[in-house]
Amino acid sequence: MLKGYCGKVLRVNLSTRATSVENLKEDEVKILLGGRGIAAKYYYDEIGPGVDELGPDNKIFFMTGPLTGTPLVSTTKFQLATKSPETRMYLCSNCGGDFGPQLKQAGFDGLIIEGKAAELTWLSLKDGALEFHDARPWKGYTSVKTLGALREAFGEKKAGAMSIGPAGERLVRMSYINVDDRAFGRGGPGAVMGSKNLKGIIVKGSGDISLADAEKVAAIRKAAVVELKTSRANHTKFGTPQYVEPLNTLGCMPTRNFQTAYFEDCDKVDAHEMVAHYVKKNYACYRCTVACGKMCEVTEGPYKGAHARTEFETVGLLGPDCGISDFAAIVKGNQLCDELGIDTMSAGNAVALTMELFEKGLITKQDTMGIDARFGNPDALLGIIELIAARQGIGDLLAEGMYGVKKARPEWKRFILDVKGMPFAAYDPRGFTGNGLTNGTSNRGACHNVGGWTIRAELQSGKYDRYALEGKAALVKAAQDSRAYVDSIGMCTVVRGAFGFSEAPTGEVLEAVTGYAFTPKLMEIAQRIYCLERVILNREGIRRRDDLLPERITKETLPSGPTKGRILTDAMYDVMLKDYYGLRGWDADGVVTEETKSKWGLKELLA
Ligand code: SF4
């Protein structure tokens, strides 16, 4: 096996308590890298389209990459693939924390969870020794409390740990997995763990990861650390909330359930406000010198004592999108989501939808269990989050995700911001067209990461007309592809530039770690991964109709702010989508052609 990999994957069956170790195939690693690529291949092989996402036949494939756990910078990342309870289709997700590096140091590139435990269970893994434990005393514990309980019971403070909260146990379809206070956030993987009666996993390894050229790895690391000090200074100072103010100034900040894209009170919730009054300390994932996590704490007022690590998406969707101009309430909402175990982005969208329905008189206090669910009411924000996690009142319907809400109440479709059941991130594509294509063609439903992050290119670089349609398909495709390979190597996207991991990859770090010449092939591997994921989606019934944008974006012009009068109509979107399918080699209905499968070697790989 190439250096940088362990060459082994651990499979755990919760129904039978059987475990087995299988080899990672070197020929597959050479064409799919690791992480997202290998996890997608496992998913293709083992999760047929008829599998119930909350049934025992669904599986979770946790997969590291060749850089995960190595002595570079931010080698924290690992991936999961599972069938999503939120979108009812393939889900990939990317996460930091210590778990991935510890899994590698325990001797495994991946961990596969299958079956269903008879009772609530937690797992421990220490250098290859896996044990099953009774988690029934922890039933109802928050995800944060469960992490503490795992560490105490395991007796290793520096282990990597993951857990779910009460929402995951109740199969709330937007439940997340808390990983060392980072998150597999989107798509509801916490509900998959809940459906398997799996409350948490903890892992500790003491092995070394072999490197092809340790001296070179050390030299590359040294140079990158210096470069990151200046190139990522804003991330260190402001974290991802640095984007709140510029996005709003440009008229792209979703406000009151995307009814407009400019929030008049944005200065009360932006990164300057956060740094001046709330940041207690920075948080760094494994081996990260950037430390972009901002641990915020509320020191006065009704939410005194609230604390959370608050990111851009959380601020945007719990803040302006719900009309909330109180940063302390956002921190409290963030903490509630973390503890109850739900994704802040899906929660923000669900609360904003509830507020619009309430203000329009389509639901009443009877539905909200007495909550005055007006935009801008912080108590409503917190109360609705609790209803979702507890599956009470309107919360029981919201807990089914946007897919479930649309099925039960099709007349509410025009108020719902999602693609393929995944709610939008905190960007309004009427302010920059490429973001529409990002949401429409992302392989996990609306997503600014998997779908291709074009914010800097479209809004800040000066190279693109943000309202143009021409050229956006190529921009989005390249961003999607580069993200696909970065998600497969095990390094954080924030630092990747310092290692040459761009859309035209340079550098020698993968060679120094693995001893194999990956770099010239990275964009080819990336396109293979993206195409493989689309083959899976096609098999699950996904077609062009599922790539379309919600009515609010295509039928309603923005009524105010810097983007007043802007819209991204179906006809405009279709221009980009046609270009995009052409570049990808998919047919007019969004199906991967046989020729394209051959081009990326998928026919042999999937035979
Ligand atoms: S840059 Fe931020 S997200 Fe990336 S590894 Fe560092 S702390 Fe984690």
Q: For residue range 418-451, list pLDDT tens digits in order.
A: 999 999 999 999 999 999 999 999 999 999 999 9
356 contacts: CB under 8 Å, gap ≥ 6: 256, 257, 259, 375, 415
CA distance 417 to 437: 14
Å from CA of 492 to ligand 1 middle: 6
DSSP codes of every residue in 522-548: HHHHHHHHHHHHHHHHHHTT--GGGGP
Index of the ligand 1 atom closest to the CA of residue 291: 7
**Residue bearing the CA closest to ligand 1, atom 8:** 285
Å from CA of 514 to ligand 1 middle: 23
Strands, sheet with 90-95, edge to edge from the N-terminal-most edge strand:
19-23, 8-13, 110-114, 60-64, 78-83, 90-95
Is it true that domain 232-399 has CATH number 1.10.569.10? yes
Q: Do the beta carbons of residue 102 and residue 17 sit within 8 Å?
A: no
Å from CA of 312 to ligand 1 middle: 13
Domain 8-204, what fold? Answer: Aldehyde Ferredoxin Oxidoreductase;  A, domain 1 (3.60.9)
Cα-Cα-Cα-Cα torsion 338, 344, 350, 356, nearest 10 degrees, comes to: 120
Helix axis angle for 433-441 and 570-584, nearest 10°, is 60
Index of the ligand 1 atom closest to the CA of residue 495: 1
Predicted local distance difference test score (pLDDT) of residue 350: 98
Length, in residues, of the chain? 607
Domain 430-605, what fold? Answer: 1.10.599
* 418: nearest Cα among 336, 344, 353: 353
Predicted local distance difference test score (pLDDT) of residue 88: 98
CA distance 195 to 154: 24
Helix axis angle for 433-441 and 472-489, nearest 10°, is 50
DSSP bridge partners of 90: 83
Distance from the first to the final alpha carbon of the chain = 23
Q: Ligand 1 test: best mutation among 494, 495, 499, 501, most atoms within 8 Å of CB?
A: 494
Å from CA of 72 to ligand 1 middle: 13
Index of the ligand 1 atom closest to the CA of residue 493: 4
**Residue bearing the CA closest to ligand 1, atom 2:** 292
CA distance 530 to 535: 9
Å from CA of 74 to ligand 1 middle: 6
CA distance 167 to 160: 22
> Which is it for the CA torsion 552, 555, 558, 563, positive or negative?
positive
Strands, sheet with 293-297, edge to edge from the N-terminal-most edge strand:
279-283, 293-297, 307-309
Å from CA of 592 to ligand 1 middle: 34
Domain locations along the chain: 8-204, 232-399, 430-605
Q: Ligand 1 test: best mutation among 243, 288, 309, 314, most atoms within 8 Å of CB?
A: 288
Predicted local distance difference test score (pLDDT) of residue 327: 98
Residues touching ligand 1 (Cβ under 6 Å) are: 74, 76, 96, 284-285, 288, 290-293, 492, 494-495
User: What is the tens place of the pLDDT at every residue in 195-230?
Assistant: 999 999 999 999 999 999 999 999 999 999 999 999
Index of the ligand 1 atom closest to the CA of residue 232: 1
CA distance 356 to 350: 10
Runs of H (alpha helix) within 362-503: 378-390, 394-398, 401-408, 433-441, 455, 472-489
Q: Ligand 1 test: best mutation among 74, 282, 487, 496, most atoms within 8 Å of CB?
A: 74
**Residue bearing the CA closest to ligand 1, atom 4:** 492
- 75 burial (CB, 10 Å; 0-12 / 13-18 / 19+) is buried
Q: With left for phi above 0 and alpha for psi between -120 and 50, is residue 471 left, alpha or beta?
A: left
Å from CA of 98 to ligand 1 middle: 12
Predicted local distance difference test score (pLDDT) of residue 259: 98
Which residues in the chain show pLDDT less than 70? none
Residue written as token pair 């999607």: 480
DSSP 412: G
Predicted local distance difference test score (pLDDT) of residue 507: 82
What global pTM score does this model have? 0.97
